[in-house]
Amino acid sequence: MRVAIVGGTGDFGLALAARLVEAGDEVVIGSRDAGRAQEKAREVGAAGGATNEDAVSAADIVVLATKADGTLDTAASLAGALGTTPVLCVASDLRSKESVSLAERTQELVQAPVVAGLHSLAAGKLAHGRPDEDAFVCGDDADAKALALELGAKVVAGRALDAGPLSRARVLEGLTAVIVSLNKRYKGHAGIRITGLP
């Protein structure tokens, strides 16, 4: 699979890139700064680094891994370059008062099918290997969701689970806030593993 990670020089994007490279995928790191993208790509053994626009041009799936406050502007600026290439939005806005998720708002800006997922995974744990956790993905486009689930299964030791339609992104994004609160309260590194499924 050829994966472009927009915002790939950040902690989560870079950790995700490392796991996907390890799994044998062809990963291109995207950034506003092509030089920085190339430098970070070398660090994790990715296929290359480029501007965000160039990174998405030949991808099978694009991971939108920017910080939450840059997600919508970045998506809007890449709408033309994305075309119909599926987008996996991993951002969570912990301060948002919106009733609609970032992923759903992203879908309004691009023609490409948007799915949401991986919100319960922490960059720090992902950077050190495949966490013993499950990954959750939701979306309305079956093909895009299948690609995102395939990607998710490569980066966790648990399973990649279909969490339903894109409207569930509100819940998945909220999981990030719950996990952050638990980690602060209990001084830990919480993750999620679902039991009782076949």
Q: CA of 112: how far to CAs of 129, 141, 155, in Å?
A: 30, 10, 23
Mean pLDDT by 10 residues, the chain (198 residues): 97 98 98 97 98 96 96 98 98 85 97 98 96 98 98 98 97 92 95 95
Residue 130 lies in a domain: yes
Residue 198 lies in a domain: no
Domain of residue 128 covers 2-186
Distance CA 10, CA 20 (A): 15
Burial class (CB in 10 A: 0-12, 13-18, 19+), 123: middle
Residue 86 lies in a domain: yes
Distance CA 42, CA 50 (A): 12
* Total domains present in the chain: 1
Burial class (CB in 10 A: 0-12, 13-18, 19+), 111: exposed
CATH for 82: 3.40.50.720
